[in-house]
Amino acid sequence: MVLDGNQVVASEDFEYVLQGDSVTVSSTMKRKARNADGTMVDLTKRMALVVDANDFGLRSYVSNLDFDGHTQVRGIIPGDTAMTIYDETDGGGGADRVIQPPGRLFMMDPGLFALFDVVCKNLKGKPLTTKRPIQLLAMSQTVDAVEATVVAAGVDTVLWGGKRTPLRKLQLSDPSGDFVAWVNASGQMLRLEHPASGLVVMRQEPAVPKKPRAATAKKPAAKKPAGGATR
């Protein structure tokens, strides 16, 4: 869930699916937003990210935004030295072929926090004792290549699923500000904070298994006196 201060403002469900030599990451984010008339209406955003199963290299990305009766579809198809960026609203739009930034590319798209989880998984096992540069493709009004840095910021031990779990703390910085992520040993992001705005993203905690009740021994029934009643 996504919180602004103490108020839940959105939810996002996502999954990873291994398909041969690629991994598809898909998610759906739902929230309420004001339209042009100031009315609060449903906003739904979906994405599908396809990456290489070995190194998480970007293969394709598409997101669909449904809001106030309109649908916007945006996507990126990378190549060797150039990539195609397309943008359509209600079936009309266009595409551009632009120079592709060098190196491994990670997607960032407003409101889709599963994309941070993808970055965290890719950094699993890496020491990060110094700031590590990563290349982002940030989708806002335009698609911009942005260089960010990630550095390890210590370890916190928290109660997660009823167990005390050490979490690696990562600080991700880009021109928009600093984010702090808490990541478990599997590379899963369990919490994300943007301190400047008070935004907090929390992964749903697994249910704590109930402890079985201890069996209680039954008391033996009292024996009746032999021979029946006597005067």
| Residue 150 is assigned to a structural domain of this protein | yes
| Residue 54 is assigned to a structural domain of this protein | yes
> How many domains, the chain?
1
Return the pLDDT at 230.
Answer: 42
Q: 78 - beta bridge partners? A: 83
CA distance 76 to 211: 49
Q: Are 112 and 63 in contact (CB under 8 A)?
A: yes
Return the pLDDT at 60.
Answer: 96
Among 188, 192, 180, residue whose Cα is nearest residue 206: 188
Dig out the tokens for 167 from the structure: 């979490």
* Tens digit of each residue's pLDDT, the chain (231 residues): 898 888 899 999 999 999 999 999 999 999 999 998 989 999 999 999 999 998 889 999 999 999 999 999 999 999 989 999 999 999 899 999 999 998 899 999 999 999 999 999 999 888 888 999 999 999 988 899 999 999 999 999 999 888 899 999 999 998 888 999 999 999 999 999 999 989 999 999 887 767 666 555 565 655 555 554 444
Among 2, 212, 33, residue whose Cα is nearest residue 113: 2
| Residue 104 is assigned to a structural domain of this protein | yes
| Residue 9 is assigned to a structural domain of this protein | yes
Range of the domain at 174: 2-202
Q: Are 149 and 130 in contact (CB under 8 A)?
A: no
| Residue 211 is assigned to a structural domain of this protein | no
Using DSSP's 3-state secondary structure scheme, residue 148 falls into strand
| Residue 77 is assigned to a structural domain of this protein | yes
CA 116, 27, 92, 89 torsion: positive or negative? negative
Residue with tokens 């898909």: 26
Q: DSSP letter at 211?
A: P
| Residue 207 is assigned to a structural domain of this protein | no
Query: Residue 119 belongs to what H/E stretch?
Result: helix 114-122
| Residue 27 is assigned to a structural domain of this protein | yes
Return the pLDDT at 231.
Answer: 40
Q: What is the DSSP string of 17-41?
A: EEETTEEEEEEEEEEEEE-TTS-EE
Q: What angle do CA 206, 209, 215 make, to 5 degrees?
A: 175
Q: Max CA-CA distance within the chain?
A: 111
- The strand pair at 105-108 and 92-99 is best described as unpaired
